[in-house]
Structure 1
């Protein structure tokens, strides 16, 4: 007897959503229909934001249709608005109704500016960040404050920005004063002691001060004033940039907890909402990192492609390994630190999201002569 076709809808076209649909395209049987729901028509490679600022290219954006070319993934330019789990139906922002057998929420988190008047370190602010770099180079900005907010976040872009600004100033004979306010005890300690020590040494060598275990509030000025807690230390700076605060994107009909980020099991099932899964920044992990999101996606894809037999025990949790690439002066550094390998600017993506990385690499390759 032929099995009934199964429809898997994935909402969200970021790292997690794309790696998941590409994995399903490879792993799932021919009776599985795969739909990607994403309102935008481009994939924004957020990990390349700081590199894009200083290299003045468009490396961080790729058409979704080109990434999915040759797969069976149906791309629908819609946003998820509501889920009716009892009927296995979702509603899009435009009012369209789409049925599903399994739904995966990969809509990420909403980036909210740290404070009014503070430059946000994110893809939408590339031009503003380029203007900041120009002010460092021409001497308008001699002291820059960079703030990492407490809570769920990913701090690496703040350190990348600090290193790149220092290098940008040094290239024209300037040595800007740069101060990073960070809630973590040591820079990027999630990658282990060796990585944290290496980054701390590099920051110190470039004259970048890091105030650890701290939070900040910003008075917009002019000039801007950063008040550092605890202790209410004040920093008068020329410019302030900050990572955005991350907030959950709530979807009606899904069992969001009080803090808004979805709690999931080892294969991504959302607590309390049958046949609904979640991966990436929409889930309640404390660190928002593309490589962790991609590893979540892999586990969920494998489960959906070959679900366990009825009565099988719960899936054993797998240990996700955080990986990233530090685009800081003067070299690109994969994290965790490799041994006996040349630094590769795409190393983290190749390991954590191999299918997406392969397609991005193919799109970036020059056409054959």
Structure 2
């Protein structure tokens, strides 16, 4: 009987994993995803600001691979029976499971978040935000990480009539070098973005944010980028997970509790050999996914796979369509002083983003 590998989720890591599993293992591979299109999540802030995304049907990206596509939402996993359950009433059996359900914005941490905040972590949410912005005058972006920085810059550049405010509980560009922070501050000043640093949000309301010190940050629209959550399915199925619900994996990205399961991307709690946790990003997800599927293929051939090794190179930040910041880093992701800025950095970042789709078409391309 032909081995059956099921891949849960068709984001950046799931789609690539399905194609590589079909190519490298000879198994029958089924890819299960809630929607029939591949979404360029790293461009959703562009979409929300009014730009157009490419139409990327999964059927076209899977053509000629032999991967079976099932468009349905996964509602449960029976780890003992090796079965996925879906909203459409399907029960999909698996011999091996690649768990790639990704992450979403966490709106549960602050009162009013779920009721009043918008996000850019799914196409549906980005579409809601786009519609809301059409009659907004002021937007408050919460979170000073890369997603918040990119969203604020994109909104301000694309919609110069819109007043953009960014609120962060730390410093703007905290993970950047001193030179990188200075450049980021200069770009935000040029774009007219107001920055509120060292400010903790206590509540999200329809008229903006209430901070812990009682101050009110007025806004017609709140964009929440401060923290991410993962699907509860792994925890509910009894897989070993961390305190955030991400699957605990070994040095080959195999579940520590269920050796027939591999987890990739944001859904996996991945660590370097020194114990450092890898951040959620395409830059970590794609190369580690390749290594995970190679490990799965090796074990199916009776070989012991190589353990994960990962070294950071840079952080690529778009600051609208005409500007960018490339922060070069040490292997542990700490910043070097070297940066690349301006139009050249914007082109660099655009090449990286376009390259992710090229990778999804040909996931054997080495990326790390």
Secondary structure of the residue that 1:306 maps to in structure 2? Answer: helix
**Is structure 2 residue 143 aligned with structure 1 residue 148?**
yes
Partner of 2:336: none
How far the C-alpha of 1:106 sits from its partner, in A, is 0.5
In 2, the alpha carbon distance for the partners of 1:356 and 1:99 equals 25
Shift of the 64–211 alpha-carbon distance from structure 1 to 2, 3 Å rule, reads same
Partner of 1:301: 293
How far the C-alpha of 1:181 sits from its partner, in A, is 1.2
* Superposition map of 1:208-357 within 5 A: 208-220=193-205, 224-229=207-212, 231-243=213-225, 246-251=228-233, 252-257=236-241, 258-284=243-269, 287-307=279-299, 312=304, 315-319=307-311, 324=316, 326=318, 328-331=320-323, 336=328, 343-344=347-348, 346-349=350-353, 354-356=358-360
Partner of 1:367: none
Shift of the 56–166 alpha-carbon distance from structure 1 to 2, 3 Å rule, reads closer
Partner of 1:162: 152
Of stretches 73-82 and 261-270 in structure 1, the one that deviates more from structure 2 is: 73-82
In 2, the alpha carbon distance for the partners of 1:342 and 1:220 equals 34
Structure with larger RCO (C-alpha < 8 A, sep 6+): 1
Partner of 1:72: 66
Deviations 1:184-218 (A, max 9, x none): 444272x6565444323311332323333432133
In 2, the alpha carbon distance for the partners of 1:323 and 1:19 equals 22
How far the C-alpha of 1:282 sits from its partner, in A, is 1.5
In 2, the alpha carbon distance for the partners of 1:169 and 1:90 equals 44
How far the C-alpha of 1:16 sits from its partner, in A, is 0.9
Q: Which runs of 5+ in 1 are unaligned?
A: 150-154, 360-369
Partner of 1:125: 125
When normalised by structure 1's length, the TM-score is 0.76
Contact 1:326 1:335 in 2 (8 A): no
In 2, the alpha carbon distance for the partners of 1:198 and 1:23 equals 40
Deviations 1:35-56 (A, max 9, x none): 2111311111111112223454
Correspondence for 2:100 among 95, 106, 126: 106
Deviations 1:291-313 (A, max 9, x none): 32222211111112222886958
Secondary structure of the residue that 1:303 maps to in structure 2? Answer: helix
Correspondence for 2:29 among 34, 50, 69: 34
In 2, the alpha carbon distance for the partners of 1:148 and 1:341 equals 23
In 2, the alpha carbon distance for the partners of 1:9 and 1:193 equals 46
Contact 2:317 2:324 in 1 (8 A): yes
Shift of the 254–335 alpha-carbon distance from structure 1 to 2, 3 Å rule, reads farther
In 1, the alpha carbon distance for the partners of 2:221 and 2:91 equals 47
Q: How many residues are matched? A: 335
Which structure would you say has the larger Rg?
1
In 2, the alpha carbon distance for the partners of 1:325 and 1:104 equals 30
Contact 1:44 1:62 in 2 (8 A): yes
